[in-house]
Amino acid sequence: MKLTKAFTLAEILITLGVIGVVAAVTMPTLVTNIQEKVRKEQVRTVKYKFTKATDKMNSLGKIGHYDSTMDFVNELKKHLTIAKICQNNELDKCWPSESINAYSGSGTTLTEFPVKDLKKGVNLKALALGTKTTETVGIVTGDGVPMLLVYSPVCSGFDEAKTYTWSVQDGKPVTNATTNCVSAIFDINGAKGPNKIGTDVRTLNSLFGSTDLGTVAGISSEQCEKVKTKYGINECCTDCDANGGDTWAAGVIKCADMGLHLPDMLTLANIANARYGTTLIGPYTIYMGTQYGEDCRTPIADWYGQNSYIFNEAEILCNVDTSTDANSALNDGEGSTSSTIFDYYWSSSEASAVYAYRRDFHAAFSFWDRSARYNGHKSLCVGD
């Protein structure tokens, strides 16, 4: 008699049970990661197409100046396919829901913002200069993306002969400085929910729905290791354990749990532009006000010493005059905090297991640097 070896029914059921348990544990995280990657690409595409239009406008000398957002939109539609335009008193006709779920100020509780009330730059927490009282306009792009935007009435345009550096996501271009005269919010999935900031509702050059958590209590490297894959943290900081914990990683986690994230270096640069009344600050620009004179590069070199990675003369703005009408129209307390406050803010950029990048905001100057992840810098959660 020939014997045939096989699994028993009990063994098969046990194996299937183990597979089920593993799948139940790993699948939600896997699905969430895939969904977030899809959303990131959708957001990138919207910003890229919008910036391609403003970049073309700039090459034709058409970025500024316009007296109103509607005047700007009437030029924009020649370079970006727009299916519908809604006046300031009918914004809800260009938006798929009556309200948007977003955070307000430093709160951690969602608030419903009626779309019809988002009438001015201040309501969008616009970073574009001088837009606090400027009226917004609604559009729906040819791709079906609803958008509320506001244009800076003090925008002086850009050098049409200059090529502006693009920010990059996963090796693909996203946006460049030609969008600095515009702030917007948009919905990447149209009429579908949840109509929430950081999920389907995203921002461009705006702090709408952002929340300032201040300094977040640090976490240990052991805590970090357990969740780093889920939150996209590359390395955990063992050096932070003896110094109060990793405040940068804690900020990443806190923001992500709210559906938001720490700002990238470009967003922090746009906050600096709004604060100091200029459009010239880029992600790696050091800004010095008029009181530092034309030779501000010398003290900066002394400050940074051997940190050659940060000192680039081409990225230093000396003696920038911010006493203009643009500065007087600044969004003080709205799109940005007051220019007299001294702040350090973490960026989303992780330099190593020990360092992350930040931008500092002082009364009359702003610079970027990398900082030990146990330092008590603030976590600003944004939905761009």
pLDDT band at 384 (very low <50, low <70, confident <90, very high): confident
pLDDT of res. 338 = 39
Coil, helix or strand at residue 345: strand
Q: pLDDT tens across 76-106, in order?
A: 999 999 999 999 999 999 999 999 999 987 7
pLDDT of res. 339 = 40
Read off the pLDDT of each residue in 290-298 and give the average, rounded to a whole number. 72
**Alpha-carbon separation of residue 130 from 82, 150, 276 (angstroms):** 25, 10, 12
Two structure tokens written together for 317: 């703005």
Q: pLDDT tens across 200-233, in order?
A: 999 999 999 999 999 999 999 999 999 999 899 9
Residue 192 corresponds to which amino acid? K
Q: In angstroms, rounded to a whole number, what is the distance separating the alpha carbons of residues 174 and 165?
A: 10
Could you give the count of Cα atoms lying within 13 Å of 344 in the half-sphere of its Cβ?
17
**Crossing angle of helices 221-231/247-257, nearest 10°?**
40
The domain ranges of the chain are 36-209, 221-381
Most confident stretch, 21-35, 153-167, 248-262 = 248-262
- With b for 16 or more beta-carbon neighbours within 10 A and e for fewer, the 152-167 pattern comes to bbbbebbeeeeebebb
Across the chain, what does the average pLDDT equal? 84
Query: Is the confidence at residue 308, as pLDDT, over 70?
Result: no
Q: How many CB atoms are located within 10 Å of the residue 102 CB? A: 24
pLDDT of res. 301 = 67
pLDDT band at 112 (very low <50, low <70, confident <90, very high): very high
pLDDT of res. 307 = 60
- In degrees to the nearest 10, what's the CA dihedral of 267, 315, 163, 85? 20
Residue 65: cis peptide before it, omega within 30 degrees of 0: yes
- In this structure, are strands 355-361 and 365-372 parallel, antiparallel, or unpaired? antiparallel
- 119 vs 361 pLDDT, higher one: 119
**Cα–Cα nearest to 172, from 260, 36, 38, 41:** 41
- Whether the CB-CB separation of 275 and 311 falls below 8 Å is answered with no
- 97 vs 2 pLDDT, higher one: 97
Query: Is the confidence at residue 289, as pLDDT, over 60?
Result: yes
**Cα–Cα nearest to 382, from 260, 272, 276:** 260
Q: Can you say how many angstroms the Cα of residue 167 is from the centroid of all Cα atoms in its chain?
A: 12
Query: Is the confidence at residue 274, as pLDDT, over 80?
Result: yes
Read off the pLDDT of each residue in 25-35 and give the average, rounded to a whole number. 59
Two structure tokens written together for 321: 């005059």
Two structure tokens written together for 332: 């003080």
Read off the pLDDT of each residue in 356-374 and give the average, rounded to a whole number. 89
pLDDT of res. 337 = 38
- Burial of residue 60 (CB within 10 Å: 0-12, 13-18, 19+) is exposed
Read off the pLDDT of each residue in 137-147 and give the average, rounded to a whole number. 95
Query: Is the confidence at residue 303, as pLDDT, over 90?
Result: no
| pTM (2 d.p.) | 0.81
Range with the poorest average pLDDT among 167-171, 218-222, 293-297: 293-297
Q: How many CB atoms are located within 10 Å of the residue 64 CB? A: 18
Query: Is the confidence at residue 334, as pLDDT, over 60?
Result: no
Query: Is the confidence at residue 353, as pLDDT, over 80?
Result: yes
User: Which residues neighbour 10 within 8 Å (Cβ) at sequence distance 6 or greater?
Assistant: none
How much of the chain, in percent, has pLDDT values that exceed 70? 84
